[in-house]
Structure 1
Amino acid sequence: MKKVMLGAVIIAAGLLSTANSQIQEGNWMVGSSLLSSRFGLNTGAGYDLAIQPKAAYFIKDNVALGGYVNLGIGKTTKGSPTAFDYGVGALGRYFLSPGEQGVDNLLNHGRWFFEGNAGIGGRSVENADSTTGLDFGVGPGYSYFITPNIGLEGLVKYVGRTGFGNEGLNSNITFNVGLSIYLPTAHAKRLADDAK
């Protein structure tokens, strides 16, 4: 019984420390939002499904900078034309430390974060309003580490596009679910060498 308890304590300590080790300076985050739902702020808004691959490098502990690509489709109502979303740009993430600003982690092996992005993107709808120009967004999220290097993530984000086209500005609130892999630099180099 003592061995079982000792083993449980060691595993729990390992899980507690993993939420810190992935987000240290020099590590990489590679992942994607696999499902994105949109709640429209404009008249006639509907739903969206999108895939959003992203990669970021931790320039210091808790701070990652990188890029993203956005590809998605959407429909306002049954029988309405299909919309195509696209975008590419830079993103940044800031992970909150446990207890920072009075915010404690919901679970011991997870982390709250804020994500922001800016780039070029657009929304094209057949025979309807379209926008191409500045693509931007900001919002809070939570990464729950299901293994030491894989985080299951939820993200609520205000996203907008402004620029050229029939519609000067469109904006939405999205809910995204996805996975991210956190790789120490040495491990990422080893994977790149193995791929050669």
Structure 2
Amino acid sequence: MKKLILTGVIAVASLLTTANAQIQKGNWLVGSSLVTSNFGLNTGGGYNIGIQPKGAYFIEDNVAIGGYVNLGISKVTNGSPTRFDYAVGGLGRYYLSPGEKGVDNLLNHGRWFLEGNVGIGGSSVENGNSTTGLDFGAGPGYSYFITPNIGLEGIVKYNGVAGFGSEGLTSTISFNVGFSIYIPTSKAREVANDVSK
């Protein structure tokens, strides 16, 4: 019985420290958000699919910088023109520490974060309308660590494109869900060495 209790205490302690270990200086974050996806079930219904692969490096504890790519395709109805959305740029994340002023974590093995991005993006529609310009966004999110190295993430984000084409400023608020893999630098070096052999 004592061994069972001791094992339980160790397991809980490792879960509580997981969120801190993965967001330390020198670690990597690689992931993707499923921006939107819906499919019309009616006859002639449309679709909207988008993904956002991203990667970042922790330059300090709780602070990561990196890059992102947005890719999306949508069609309002079966007969409407297809729209292709795209963006590429830099992003930054700041993870809030437990105990910071006004911060309470929902779960002990997860972390709140703030994410912002700036880049170049736009859209192109089959009928010839297109725009390209400054792509930007910001919002809060939460990463719940389902394993020591994998986080299930949700983020509410304001997204905008200040375009120079047929459209001016366009903006949306999105709720994104995705996964991120947190890789310690030592593990990344092992993988790089294995690949180079």
Give the alignment's TM-score, normalised by structure 1. Answer: 0.91
**Unaligned residue ranges in structure 1 (runs of 5+):** 39-45
* Residue of structure 2 equivalent to 1:2: 2
Q: 1:61 to 1:193 in 2, by over 3 A?
A: same
* Residue of structure 1 equivalent to 2:193: 193
Larger displacement relative to structure 2 (55-64 or 96-105)? 96-105
* Residue of structure 1 equivalent to 2:16: 16
Tell me if the contact between 2:33 and 2:51 (Cα under 8 Å) persists in the aligned partners. yes
Residues 1:170 and 2:170 are matched in the alignment? yes
Report the residue type matching 2:68 in the other structure: Y
Q: CA deviation at 1:128?
A: 5.8
Tell me if the contact between 2:27 and 2:57 (Cα under 8 Å) persists in the aligned partners. yes
Report the residue type matching 2:187 in the other structure: H
Tell me if the contact between 1:37 and 1:176 (Cα under 8 Å) persists in the aligned partners. no
Q: CA deviation at 1:169?
A: 1.1
Tell me if the contact between 1:145 and 1:152 (Cα under 8 Å) persists in the aligned partners. yes
CA distance in 2, matches of 1:154, 1:118: 20
Tell me if the contact between 2:35 and 2:174 (Cα under 8 Å) persists in the aligned partners. no
* Residue of structure 2 equivalent to 1:139: 139
CA distance in 2, matches of 1:13, 1:36: 36
Report the residue type matching 1:111 in the other structure: R
Tell me if the contact between 1:57 and 1:66 (Cα under 8 Å) persists in the aligned partners. yes
Larger displacement relative to structure 2 (11-20 or 122-131)? 122-131
CA distance in 1, matches of 2:182, 2:91: 16
* Residue of structure 2 equivalent to 1:41: none
**Unaligned residue ranges in structure 2 (runs of 5+):** 39-45
How many residues were matched structurally?
A: 189
Higher RCO (C-alpha 8 Å, min separation 6) = 1
Give the alignment's TM-score, normalised by structure 2. Answer: 0.90
CA distance in 1, matches of 2:89, 2:35: 19
Q: 1:151 to 1:100 in 2, by over 3 A?
A: same
Summarize deviations over 1:102-130 as a string: whole Å, max 9, x none: 21111110001010000011111221643
For the aligned residue pairs, the C-alpha RMSD in angstroms reads: 1.7
